[in-house]
Amino acid sequence: MEPSVKSHCLSPGCSIQVSRIMRPDDANIAGNVHGGTILKMIEEAGVIISTRHCNMQNEERCVAVLARVERTDFLSPMSIGEVAHVSAEITYTSKHSVEVQVNVIAENIIKGAKRLTNRATLWYVALSLENVDKLVEIPSIEYVSPEEQEEGRKRYAAQKLDRIETKQRNEDIFLPAINVEPFTIGYSQSSLIHLVGPSDCALHKYVQGGVTMKLMDEVAGIVAARHCKTNIVTASVDAINFHQKIQKGSVITVSGRMTFTSNKSMEIEVFVDVDHVLESPKGKTHAVTAFFTYVSLDKDGKALPIPMLKIETEGEKRRFEEGRSRYLQTKAKRMPLAHKGQ
């Protein structure tokens, strides 16, 4: 199998391949590469081709900023020493958005084996460098066929709808843990706090979306490890919407809590809050929220059973039920695909 990106776009410069050897710091102690490392690479490829594309015809210099990532499955974990190949291609453009589709292939250069580890879809908007509050118009790409374009238009409309809906979830509140009894939500609840530095913002003065996603995955991993005490790996990430620009010098707090457990998986809700340290605090909303699904693996990479979550409050119960319905929905969607041989 040699998975490759099917060409959707006939314009020049609308595809790229980014490759890198996975290093010890990219992986957990069991040697499995963090999902967040992959998400960060994916976003780096996306921001390069989107920024390149939006500067092709424009007089006005602009940079691409991540607006949304579609739900992503991690098909198999990568290991230290393997090479991750991220191929990205622009597949649709609307007036103000760029859709980028990405394939990630893990190559074991010693064994000579390659495998597809995940696919992802990202949406970018372009900001003017002179006035970062202004969206710049995106030059249209040339499509392989009118059908391709029509498919893209549908994906664009669907994500737009979902983007508006999820804005509401951002009001949810994350309370400090009080209960510390094992398997409760309070017990595994965790936070990371990160000071946004220059390298988090290479092209402009805002955090690249990939940096945020890497931190989100890291906190979800700590929550999962605390709950299971085993080797845990990212199985999937639900769609993530980015509603705020996060500026250099801000402090971002990334918090995660368990919401749902099935037999073989656990769902962790992650919130990103931004504190502009040098400004007085404004009314707080979450800058980003997302659901990460983790699985627990034994030494041979086989899925272990997940300890059942101890539910204590009404809010926890509601969130558990919502998690279950997301779980069932995903399972249902995956079924027919299995028959198609994917």
| Tokens read off for 34 | 């963090």
**Residues facing 98 on adjacent strands:** 93, 124
- Provide the minimum distance between the beta carbon of 248 and a second copy in the complex, in angstroms, as a whole number: 6
Q: What is the closest distance, in whole angstroms, from the C-beta atom of residue 170 to a second copy in the complex?
A: 19
Q: Which stretch binds a second copy (CB under 8 A): 163-171, 243-251, 298-306, 327-335?
A: 243-251
CA–CA separation, 46 and 119 (whole Å): 13
- Only one residue has tokens 């945020």, namely 212
Instruction: Give me the 87-126 binding string for a second copy, x by CB under 8 A, dash otherwise.
Output: --------------------x-xxxx--------------
> CA separation (Å) from 339 to 73, 198, 244, 327, 334?
18, 48, 40, 19, 9
Contact between 132 and a second copy by CB under 8 A: the answer reads no
Residue 303, interface with a second copy (CB under 8 A)? Answer: no
In angstroms, give the least distance from the CB of 249 to a second copy: 4
- By CB under 8 A, name the one of 5, 116, 129, 144 that touches a second copy: 129
Query: Are residues 3 and 103 in contact, defined by beta-carbon separation less than 8 angstroms?
Result: yes
Question: 159 and 151 in contact (C-beta within 8 Å)?
Answer: no
Note whether 181 binds a second copy by CB under 8 A: no
Q: Does 230 bind a second copy (CB under 8 A)?
A: yes
Strand 240-241 to 266-275 pairing = unpaired
Q: Look at residues 132, 22, 12 and name the one whose alpha carbon lies nearest to residue 78.
A: 22
Tell me the one-letter amino acid at 314: E
Residues in contact with a second copy by the rule CB under 8 A = 2, 13, 16-25, 27-29, 44-45, 47-48, 51-52, 55-56, 61-63, 80-81, 83, 107, 109-112, 129, 176, 180, 182, 190-199, 202-203, 218-219, 221-222, 225-226, 229-230, 248-249, 251, 275, 277-281
